[in-house]
A and B are shown apart, each in its own frame.
With several copies, the nearest count.
Chain A
């Protein structure tokens, strides 16, 4: 057990810090979602130009070949510097690794480069309105049509779809199939008729998610990833890459929130109230445990190649801590914190999504019970 960095990890961090010291992402644009995304894409271009995009990708694919710990350090340092996530984060974390695993030479050749630079943004078309948390209930239909496929259906919660050139799309190619069988994973070109993106407004008022309407969209055989009928396995590769490095970004962001709240409370004398101080300590402890548990998960993954129970738990910890933190902020800071558009009221509303996005709390607890604890499934 050693919670300090090894010399090579320290060297990696120091090199990154040095680069970040010279390369400021610039001021965060507020209020204009397109300007904000353009800022993130620009940031990714600069990262890529300096070799800091896809740090965890193998060197042969243009990455830096970073270890898992180095990748965690990368996201922590980004958050520490209050830099944004790269614009094409789904491409870097999900599409890229999935294409590396399942793609043929041509697919790798075609896609990996533009993912790294952010030249081509990716979105993820898995969820559907009727399926919700039940991924195997995918209904979007891809029908054989000459030498390609015609795709019809609807996806939802597709973040970045309105910026995306490509979509990781899960569709049913065997109409007689049920559940996990008969699904195929497509690399769908978003720039065509038959693909319509409609923003979905969140309770915060923003539109970070979209509905995706597919009405006769086309895909070629060359755009099938991992083979016809193999979509479930390919999708599982994508999902297992989800949240990997991001946990460390979130974890630092949570700590920044705790510190910001502590500072704001201290300034107003709020910490003189032992009730508030106690609640702050509770939340700070949750955030610290999140950090530690994320590191434990990382070590486990490095040692065994398999995510341990920790990876299922950090999401639960994070969402719970963030909801508690933001409610505390609103309680302790009073009506000022409830002003529309204020930092804490935004965080309060946004936090409600934490127990829904990326696997609802209910689904994650099912997973923990069945896959980690080995409890029997509900019949």
Chain B
């Protein structure tokens, strides 16, 4: 029993934190968001480092690490609100690896690992996925629909850019006529769960950033002659944010570990991670705005990007309500 990152995994996380702190300071995040993103230079640099292929098997030229390592990385990308499409590519790679044919794997995974191609994954209802991350410019789009997946090239998919309240990432609505693209022969369910685990990890980073920025602010900012963090209402708000962040972290890491080591437990763990991380991230980022006082409501304070990311990213792989339904089903079944 060891429920913590290994030294190697912590090293990945530290490296990512340092690199992204340098490359994605708040000014950069704002510039990307105001410029409509994505951050091409950053994406290129991360591809150089092999990050897009972190969880792609070595036989397909990836780094061959696991979902836990990918989660550690995604947490830092969320922490920095980095404008690089790693979550999208990882999600699509999971699907191609897990449900694709040998030929599909050989065609796509090495290019995704190298960053010479990007991909994304969307959950479709009636041939349309309402919210897909980084679909514009993606070379491949995996649409999961009623338990089956198909792979569309950029030419085959109908990508309508969607300007959401979260401009730190590009989103789109993606449709495809019935029969367009080529089917992935396998069951994509596990890949969607793995993607949900990584999305949850990204939200853990969002929670942690909201907490860190808030703790720093309320320790400095003075009112009524003392730092506002010494007011119990503010201090307890920060404690609640800590609770939210650590809850999300427990659930997201658990889902990532399940993805690597416990396939039977993955559906429950992924639903748990989605539900807990989404709730935590919304609460923690709303709290961050509140704890910053009037300043938190201004564009320049930058905490709003976290709130906006939390709101939109929570919906990427379904609703919290749907995740809760899966949890309730699992609990009823084990009774």
Contacts of A113 in B (CB 8 A): none
Encode B140-175 as 1/0 by CB contact (under 8 A) with A. Answer: 000000000000000000000011111100000000
Which chain B positions have C-beta within 8 A of A331? Answer: 319-321
Q: Contact between B227 and A376 (Cβ–Cβ < 8 Å)?
A: yes
Partner of A1, one of B226, B253, B332: B253
Interface size class of B (residues with CB under 8 A): 35 or more
CB-contacts of A122-150 with B (<8 A): 127, 130-134, 137
Pick the contact of B1: A4, A266, A348 (CB < 8 A). A4
Asked whether A49 is an interface residue with its Cβ less than 8 Å from the other chain, the reply is no
A334-B251 in contact given A203-B289, A356-B294, A357-B294 (Cβ < 8 Å): no
Q: What distance in Å separates the Cβ of B274 from its nearest Cβ neighbour in chain A? A: 10
0/1 per residue, A364-379, Cβ < 8 Å to B? 1110111011111111
Knowing A1-B257, A378-B231 touch, does A205 contact B321 (C-beta < 8 A)?
no
In the complex, identify which listed stretch (A21-29, A77-85, A288-296) lies at the interface while the others stay far away: A288-296
Tell which of A266, A292, A327 touches B335, judged by Cβ atoms closer than 8 Å.
A266
Q: Is the interface of B mostly helix, strand, loop or mixed?
A: helix
Query: A368 contacts which chain B residues (CB < 8 A)?
Result: 238-239, 242-243
Binary interface encoding of chain A residues 174-189 relative to chain B, with 1 for a CB under 8 A from any of its CBs, else 0: 0000000000000000
Cα–Cα distance between A258 and B335 once the two chains are bound (Å): 9
CA–CA, A277 to B233, complex, Å?
A: 32
Per-position binary interface string of chain A over residues 288-318, scored 1 when its CB falls under 8 Å from any chain B CB and 0 otherwise: 1100110110111011000001100100110
- Interface set, chain B 206-235, CB cutoff 8 A to A: 211, 215, 218-219, 221-224, 226-227, 229-235
A interface residue count range (under 10 / 10 to 19 / 20 to 34 / 35 or more) = 35 or more
Q: Please determine whether B247 and A293 come into contact, CB atoms closer than 8 angstroms.
A: yes
Contact call A259/B242, Cβ cutoff below 8 A = no
Contact B328 A379 (CB under 8 A): no
Contacts of B167 in A (CB 8 A): 340
Tell me the residues in window 321-350 of chain A with beta carbons closer than 8 Å to chain B beta carbons: 323, 327, 330-331, 334-336, 338-341, 345, 348-349
> Nearest chain-A residue to B321 (Cβ)?
A275
With A317-B243, A356-B296 known to touch, is A296 a contact of B4 (CB < 8 Å)?
yes
Instruction: Give complex CA distance A327, B332 in Å.
Output: 19
- Across the interface, do B229 and A259 meet the contact criterion of CB distance under 8 Å? no
29 A-B pairs within 8 Å (CB atoms) are namely A1-B4, A1-B68, A3-B1, A3-B3, A203-B299, A278-B321, A292-B250, A296-B3, A296-B250, A302-B2, A303-B4, A335-B130, A340-B167, A341-B163, A348-B311, A352-B286, A361-B290, A364-B239, A365-B233, A365-B235, A369-B235, A369-B236, A370-B235, A374-B219, A375-B227, A375-B229, A375-B230, A375-B235, A376-B226
